[in-house]
Amino acid sequence: MLPALMRTDPDPDPAPAPDATAPLPPSRAEALRFWLWLGCVSFGGPAGQIAIMHTELVERRRWISERRFLHALNYCMVLPGPEAQQLATYIGWLMHRTWGGLVAGGLFVLPSLLLLIVLSWVYMTWGDLPPVAAVFAGIKPAVTALVLHAAWRVGGRVLRNGWLWALAAASFLAIFALGMPFPVIVLLAGVAGWVGGRWRPGQFRMCPAHGEASAACHAPAVIDDDTPTPAHARFSAARCRVVLAAGLGLWAAALGALVLWQGWQGAAAQMGWFFTKAALLTFGGAYAVLPYVHQGAVEHYQWLTAAQMMDGLALGETTPGPLIMVVAFVGFVGGWGQAWFGPDSQFLAGVAAAVVVSFFTFLPSFVFILLGGPFIESTHGRLQFTAPLTGITAAVVGVILNLALFFAAHVLWPRGWAGGIDWAAAAIGLGAALALFRFQAGVITVVLGSGLAGLVLSLF
């Protein structure tokens, strides 16, 4: 949960003086240092990363007001792709034009990509050793608990009334019981939010209690509630055409180069095409996209096994950056197995594949922000635009819960329902859940503790 966004009690600190002056706009060098720092410390999944950004950008540095921050966040949460990385891109773009967006979004990903490449190499080289395998066996149940905890955190921030709870429940039943595609769920939730915003507007406002309470007494920010939209952030049809052409051109050039290298049926081109679809056709961030990636990468293309996919998710949970960076692990393992450059260069093939899938996964995120940001900046406080976003955000909670059950089935019943429950995994998962829900332990603590528990249990 985002403590800074969820607090409803009076702020323990004195309210800032009404005549407090706004801080000076950050320079490019200052922004560069901040985004690099954020990329290195942004642990805890999307909720934790957004909380860090809120604390640093809204409360501490006052680069942007809370209402403008939440307005951007609602837009990013309904886009396909990682909402925290897109939010960083959005704020960087709003403050320093296209340069700022590319730097903020790129540095949010780069440290995690480099670290995951190293960890993936370690995993592929020594992952079959019994102690290493035991550690990952302990981490898998913790991953299930982490996804369930994510549903609780996001739900606590979003589900403020019975109408939004009903949307979340309906989305869960739609994907769990009916197998409805998530884009259809998003569309229906957006329509429900639009109708609800006209029929019960008070139920579909964006964070009304905290937003309205804070608006009257918050300290001035560089980009405040009433700060005019910067010139570069105003809508322009000509600029939209340039951004769209640049994005499509980069995508076509990269995919064309892979086709010329290996052919359309080659693994490199298929990775580029598959992760393009994953980036465009799945919504709700990493927790919603993972079942789709599992289905394609494990079952269809067989770039890796289901067990390796779970291990990759565990590695993704222990590194900074967006959780969707697990795709870098998927690419690395797939490239390693394909040995694109020969059996003696598996590491190089893994690195190349990790870079390929990361490029095609994150390119649409930059295009969405640079293309849609100017329109979103023109919709402050307009319920007809924010209500559908609120409805869709509520629906995402149900999808995340479905993912938690998906992982639980694979972890607790690894040999199928007839094979019986894995009681060791159940015990570790229960311990991880208690640590997260009851004691509010951090992600790294839970993952490392679960890995240690798996190692200890393997000795008996």
Distance, CA of 153 to CA of 95 (rounded, Å): 29
DSSP state of 289: H
Q: What is the pLDDT of residue 381?
A: 53
- DSSP H or E segment with residue 223: none
Distance, CA of 183 to CA of 190 (rounded, Å): 10
Q: From residue 3, how far is each of 94, 167, 360 by CA, in Å?
A: 25, 23, 33
Amino acid at 308: Q
Q: From residue 192, how far is each of 282, 389, 390, 418 by CA, in Å?
A: 19, 10, 10, 40
Q: What is the pLDDT of residue 20?
A: 61
36 burial (CB, 10 Å; 0-12 / 13-18 / 19+) is middle
Q: Would you state the structure tokens that stand for residue 99, as one six-digit string?
A: 């340069």
Kindly calculate the radius of gyration of the chain based on its CA atoms and give it in whole angstroms: 22
Q: What is the pLDDT of residue 202?
A: 67
DSSP state of 187: H
Q: Which residue from 158, 150, 168 is spatially nearest to 210, judged by alpha carbons?
A: 158
Q: From residue 168, how far is each of 225, 398, 441 by CA, in Å?
A: 30, 5, 26
Q: What is the pLDDT of residue 43?
A: 65
CA count, 13 A, side-chain hemisphere, 269: 14
Give 101-127 as a 3 state SS string: HHHHHHHHHHHHHHHHHHHHHHHHHHC
Q: What is the pLDDT of residue 382?
A: 56
Taking the CB of residue 227, how many other CB atoms lie within 10 A of it? 15
Distance, CA of 136 to CA of 455 (rounded, Å): 9
Taking the CB of residue 248, how many other CB atoms lie within 10 A of it? 12
- Asked whether 108 and 322 are in contact (CB, 8 A), the reply is yes
Tens of pLDDT along the chain (460 residues) come to 333 333 333 433 344 444 467 788 899 999 999 999 988 877 656 766 877 788 788 888 889 987 788 788 878 877 778 888 999 999 999 999 999 999 999 999 999 999 999 999 988 988 767 787 788 778 778 878 877 887 787 677 678 888 888 988 998 898 888 878 766 887 888 888 888 877 777 667 655 433 444 444 467 888 887 788 888 888 888 999 999 999 999 999 999 999 999 999 999 999 999 999 988 876 656 666 777 788 889 888 999 988 888 788 778 877 888 878 889 999 999 999 988 998 889 999 999 999 999 999 999 999 999 998 888 887 665 555 667 777 877 887 887 787 778 778 878 887 778 878 889 889 999 999 999 888 888 777 887 898 899 889 888 7
Q: What is the pLDDT of residue 453?
A: 92
Q: What is the pLDDT of residue 244?
A: 95
- Asked whether 292 and 282 are in contact (CB, 8 A), the reply is yes
Q: Which residue from 289, 266, 267 is spatially nearest to 279, judged by alpha carbons?
A: 289
251 burial (CB, 10 Å; 0-12 / 13-18 / 19+) is middle
Taking the CB of residue 174, how many other CB atoms lie within 10 A of it? 21
- Asked whether 279 and 247 are in contact (CB, 8 A), the reply is no
Q: What is the pLDDT of residue 7?
A: 36
Q: Which residue has the tokens 């095609």?
A: 360
Q: Would you state the structure tokens that stand for residue 13, as one six-digit string?
A: 């600190």
Taking the CB of residue 10, how many other CB atoms lie within 10 A of it? 8
Q: What is the pLDDT of residue 383?
A: 52
pTM (global) more than 0.85: no
- Asked whether 57 and 65 are in contact (CB, 8 A), the reply is no
